[in-house]
Amino acid sequence: MAFVKKYLLPLWVLFLAYYFYSANEEFRPEMLKGKKVIVTGASKGIGEEMAYQLAKMGAHVMVTARSKETLQKVVSHCLELGAASAHYIAGTMEDMTFAEQFIAKAGKLMGGLDMLILNHITNTSMNLFNNEIDYVRKSMEVNFLSYVVLSVAALPMLKQSNGSIVVVSSTAGKIANPLIAPYSASKFALDGFFSSIRTEYSVTKVNVSITLCVLGLINTETAMKAISGIVDGNPAPKDECALEIIKAGALRQEEVYYNNSPWLAFLLGNPGRKFMEFLSLRSYNMDKFINN
């Protein structure tokens, strides 16, 4: 107990102070002006709103999803709102070859990339888990593996621009809820993978920021339908949510919590975990992985 009082507590307090202080920069919409941004899952819901917010800020916008017709509408609305440019490439993120080629084509069209916003998910309904192994595999592939493939393909361009990867996750990627086991697994996987490579980037001086977005309930059509009659929630507006995600990405924050109660957000922010990660890293010999 004496040890805890003497060393751990002051360290923890310092750490928390740093953690909250560092998230306190100012956002300006001009930060996105002329930036080249990809948004996946942008034919509807939060993704569509992010495309519009980016367009208003004067960004170059590249959107993707499966349905061509809706993407076309999103692109023309982006141009009306003032996007520096707006394009779409349609395809399914079940196909990893499409994911990889999408980034190559997008990079060519925009002439680089500043921000990769990963947002799409495969359709999800709330149900007891009933041994649907194929659905678990599909959730992991679309909601998780394709995010890794897209990031790998985009990394060379993001390194050049000192860019950002923004990963849209959920409260269900931080705490366990019933009726969405496959979805939850895929969102937890995103946290494990992207938080791990964030530490690697930090140690190896790769200046690409990674922002994990932990969203509570948002009023998209899909979500409202999925929870109807099952969960009593207090959904937040999708346009404000979209703006908060973009802000956090532009400010290079590690995590952002949106529409979680303040208490929940504080506890989910998990200073205990952050502190243990900090301590744990000290027992690693990372020098041999740094080549300059």
Ligand X SMILES: *[C@@H]1O[C@H](CO)[C@@H](O)[C@H](O)[C@H]1NC(C)=O
Ligand Y SMILES: NC(=O)c1ccc[n+]([C@@H]2O[C@H](COP(=O)([O-])OP(=O)(O)OC[C@H]3O[C@@H](n4cnc5c(N)ncnc54)[C@H](OP(=O)(O)O)[C@@H]3O)[C@@H](O)[C@H]2O)c1
Known catalytic residues? Answer: 183
Identify which of residues 49 and 254 has a Cβ nearer to ligand Y in the complex.
49
Residue window 142-161: x/- pattern of binding to ligand X, with contact defined by CB under 6 A: -------------------x
Q: CA 6, CA 106: separation in Å to the nearest integer?
A: 53
Helix (H, G, I), strand (E, B) or coil at 102: helix
Partner whose footprint covers residue 207, from ligand X, ligand Y, none (CB < 5 to 8 Å by kind): ligand X
Partner whose footprint covers residue 204, from ligand Y, ligand X, none (CB < 5 to 8 Å by kind): none
Identify which of residues 164 and 170 has a Cβ nearer to ligand Y in the complex.
170
Distance of closest approach, residue 25 Cβ to ligand X, in angstroms: 10
59 binds ligand Y (CB under 6 A): no
Within 10 angstroms of residue 104's Cβ, the number of other Cβ atoms is: 12
Find where tokens 């004067």 sit.
58
Q: CA 209, CA 202: separation in Å to the nearest integer?
A: 9
Task: Put the strands of the sheet holding 60-64 in their side by side order.
Answer: 85-88, 60-64, 36-40, 115-118, 164-170, 209-215, 255-258
Q: CA 260, CA 213: separation in Å to the nearest integer?
A: 11
43 binds ligand Y (CB under 6 A): yes
45 binds ligand Y (CB under 6 A): yes
207 binds ligand X (CB under 6 A): yes
151 binds ligand Y (CB under 6 A): no
What are the Cα distances from residue 41, in Å, to 44, 85, 88?
7, 18, 11
| Residue 17 amino acid letter | A
- For residue 108, report the phi and psi dihedrals to the nearest 5 degrees: -65, -45
212 binds ligand Y (CB under 6 A): no
67 binds ligand Y (CB under 6 A): yes
22 binds ligand X (CB under 6 A): no
Partner whose footprint covers residue 274, from ligand X, ligand Y, none (CB < 5 to 8 Å by kind): none
Distance of closest approach, residue 64 Cβ to ligand X, in angstroms: 18
125 binds ligand X (CB under 6 A): yes
DSSP β-bridge partners for residue 165: 116, 210
Q: CA angle 86-27-244, nearest 5°? A: 65
Partner whose footprint covers residue 162, from ligand X, ligand Y, none (CB < 5 to 8 Å by kind): ligand X
Give the binding site for ligand Y (CB under 6 A).
Answer: 41-47, 65-67, 70, 92-94, 119-122, 142, 168, 170, 215, 217-218, 220, 222-223
